[in-house]
Structure 1
Amino acid sequence: MLGFSESNTYLSLLSDSITDSVDTKEFWVNMPNLMSHLKRVAEQKPQATYYNVDMIKYQVSTEGIQSTPLNLAVSWRGDLTNTDLRIDYKYNTEAMTAPVPLHNIQFLVPVDGGMAKLQAMIPPATWNPEQQTIQWKIPSLSHRSENGGVGALLGRFQMTEGPCKPSQLAVQFSSEGCTLSGCDIQLVGTGYRLSLIKKRFAAGQFEYQKRV
């Protein structure tokens, strides 16, 4: 499901459902409003060489594991004294219109139960004693990575107040050069041109499949 919304009331972005088709949606801008808005911005920032104006925002709603560029599964096992954590991840090319690397991937997991000692971290991870969280970082991941972007993060903790309760896994990453929606933009008409189009997506927090 794809939903559009006007992001800047100054521009009076308009659309007409009559001209829409299954694959396209047309919008046009009230140019006098746009020019007035740019004039005000120029007066506020006279030293700027260009100005960014948000034109449109849209949301894409999809379901299923194949809709996410990074598939995850988390397993917690433990007793009163020890906890084992395993995070399986898989780079998913099917979620993107064109495979692009995921950058600055961060896995953040809260660990309760009075963690006394990190017995093993594969690969190495960072423990934050104040927030009681463990964090793994992967600089980049793609289908060209080792094992096609498939791997696992392993942690073993010695506990003083176990057993540890399974917690929510937060994952962040970003990517350039592609969108998950497959939406593209085309400027129709004379007198104007698109000098640059940037495509980017980023993730804040994933829900994961939990196995205990």
Structure 2
Amino acid sequence: MVLSFPAGITRHFATHPTQPVLTFSISNYTRLEQVLPNPQLLCCDSTADGLDIKEFWVNMPNLMSHLKKVAEQKPQATYYNVDMIKYQVSAEGIQSTPLNLAVSWRCDSTNTDLRIDYKYNMEAMAAPVPLYNLQFLVPVDGVMARPQAMIPPKISKVMYKYSAGTSLHVITAGVGALLGRFQMENGSCRPSQLAVQFSSEGSTLSGCDIQLVGIGYRLSLVKKRFAAGKYLADN
């Protein structure tokens, strides 16, 4: 979670050093795991663990000092992004993943057939949003006799890539398959692990929301996004 502050706030803090404490709450907090608040900037009530809403408040002197330092380093910036919280999201089973995958291989001495079945899963998201910038990358063990244009010489990897403006839930309603046949030079290959990348804007997998508590501040815009990190599928 990142908070962005307008550049003019440093001048405001300089002329008004005594400010109300910036406090916010996170709902659906029990969906989060391995929560790491910024130790220099955030405090919270540790006795409230287990509740579905968690309240945090900011160390204002440290925040003012941090923003002043950033302003000196980036004098042309219009906003200053400040990392507040890192976390992981609990996932339980295939219904918790936004993209369900199945990979099948057929390998013989001369050909390798690869099939990747995919399905867009709106149930994994707090609010269904499209998946963009999809890339499917899989190593093909062995030397291909006829490498395709997207396979660099001596690198046996195959990439399927949708154009940046294409969303998954538009492609065949989010359900489909990718097929490939590769001629091999040195015998049968071994099935390998598929890696997938994608991104999305406008929703989260956690379903968490942030709200300010108290007066003196306001949120002008809340952006939600998620992206695939280590997103893998085995045969």
TM over 0.5: yes
Kindly provide the CA deviation profile for residues 126-180 of structure 1, in whole angstroms up to 9, marking residues without a partner as x: 223332111101233343x243200000000111112110011111011001101
CA distance in 2, matches of 1:84, 1:188: 57
Asked whether 1:138 is paired with 2:168, we answer: no
Matched residue SS, 2:151: strand
Give the corresponding residue for 1:10.
Answer: 40
Q: Paired residues, what number?
A: 202
Answer yes or no: is 1:190 the counterpart of 2:212.
Answer: no
Secondary structure of 2:61's counterpart equals: helix
The alpha-carbon deviation at position 18 of structure 1 amounts to 3.6
The match for 2:113 among 56, 72, 84 is: 84
Q: How does 1:98-117 map to 2 (within 5 A)?
A: 98-117=127-146
The one-letter amino acid paired with 1:15 is C
The alpha-carbon deviation at position 29 of structure 1 amounts to 0.7
User: Matches of residues 37-116 of structure 1 in structure 2 within 5 Å?
Assistant: 37-116=66-145
* Alpha-carbon distance, 1:63 to partner: 2.9
Going from structure 1 to structure 2, the CA distance change for 1:138 and 1:57 (only over 3 Å counts) comes to: same
User: Cα deviations across residues 33-86 of structure 1 (Å, max 9, x unaligned)?
Assistant: 111111122222222222111111111131311111111100000210111000
Contact 2:96 2:124 in 1 (8 A): yes
Q: How far, CA to CA, are the matches of 2:184 and 2:48 in structure 1?
A: 63
Q: Distance in 2 between matches of 1:35 and 1:72?
A: 47
Q: Distance in 2 between matches of 1:19 and 1:84?
A: 54
**Following TM superposition, by how much is the alpha carbon of 1:205 offset from its aligned partner in structure 2, in angstroms?**
3.1
TM-score w.r.t. the length of structure 2 is: 0.80
Q: Is the 8 A contact 2:107 2:190 kept in 1?
A: no
Mark the runs of 5 or more structure 1 residues left unpaired by the alignment: none
Unpaired runs of 5+ residues, structure 2, are 1-30
Identity %: 71
- SS at the partner of 2:112? strand
Cα offset, 1:209, TM superposition: 4.2
Q: Does 1:199 align with 2:224?
A: yes
Conserved in 1, the CA contact under 8 Å of 2:132 and 2:168? no
2:184 matched to 1:159? yes
| Letter matched to residue 187 of structure 1 | L
Question: 1:110, 1:132 within 8 Å by CA — same for their partners in 2?
Answer: yes
Q: Do structure 1's residue 170 and structure 2's residue 199 form an aligned pair?
A: no
Matches within 5 A, 1:15-30: 15-19=44-48, 22-30=51-59
Instruction: Name the CA distance, whole Å, in 2 between partners of 1:69 and 1:42.
Output: 38
Opposite residue 37 of structure 2, the aligned amino acid is E
Q: CA RMSD in A?
A: 1.9
Contact 1:80 1:162 (C-alpha < 8 Å) held by counterparts: yes
Q: Distance in 2 between matches of 1:130 and 1:197?
A: 46
SS class of match (1:71): strand
Contact conserved, 2:101 with 2:118, CA < 8 A, in 1?
Answer: yes
Give the Cα separation in 2 of the matches to 1:21 and 1:193: 27
Q: TM-score, normalised by structure 1?
A: 0.88
Determine helix, strand or coil for the equivalent of 1:94.
helix
SS class of match (1:85)? strand
